[in-house]
Structure 1
Amino acid sequence: MGTKKHKPEEVVTKLRQVDVLVSQGQSVADAIQAIGVIGVTYYRWRKEFGGLKSDQVRRMKELETENQRLRKAIADLTLDKLILQEAARGNF
């Protein structure tokens, strides 16, 4: 059985659907089954996206992507700096 990668906006929508179903009297397990995910996925999503709105989730994902890009750039520059320091000492 393949896995489906849900977009953050879809996750927030499904979390809200569970909240609505639970408030209408369904059990949490039935509500989770109604949105088509397993319990572990639901609780992981709730932990990560619990109180966020769609625009906040989108912004958070953009910031995480930018953070990864910047970390890679720093790693590359640090490596270049170390190579230049070795060359300047004459240990090449």
Structure 2
Amino acid sequence: MAIPELCRSGGFSQATFCKWRTKYGGIPVSEARRLRELKSENAKLERLLAEAHLG
């Protein structure tokens, strides 16, 4: 499948595809999943810390 067709079917721009490819192109799928999980966990911990400081 050509990149423009892939982007259209996925509902994202070619610019977004290029950013993703640059960022995640050399990472195996399992590592990309783990990275996403860690980012999510980090965001949750940052929210909890902010709430603790404010509350």
- Which TM-score applies when normalising by structure 1? 0.48
Describe how 1:1-92 pairs up with structure 2 within 5 A. Answer: 31-34=2-5, 36-37=6-7, 38-80=13-55
- What RMSD, in angstroms, separates the aligned Cα atoms of the two structures? 1.7
| Structure 1 spans left out of the alignment, 5+ residues | 1-16, 18-30, 81-92
Q: Over alpha carbons, which structure has the higher Rg?
A: 1
Partner AA of 1:43 in structure 2: C
Q: Which runs of 4+ in 1 moved over 3 A?
A: none
Higher relative contact order (CA 8 A, sep 6+): 1
- Which TM-score applies when normalising by structure 2? 0.75
| Structure 2 spans left out of the alignment, 5+ residues | 8-12
Give a deviation string over 1:18-55, Cα, whole Å, max 9, x none.
Answer: xxxxxxxxxxxxx3124x21421221111221210110
* Cα shift at 1:73: 0.5
**Count of aligned pairs between the two proteins:** 50
* Cα shift at 1:66: 0.3
> Hey, what's the Cα distance between the residues in 2 that align with 1:75 and 1:44?
30
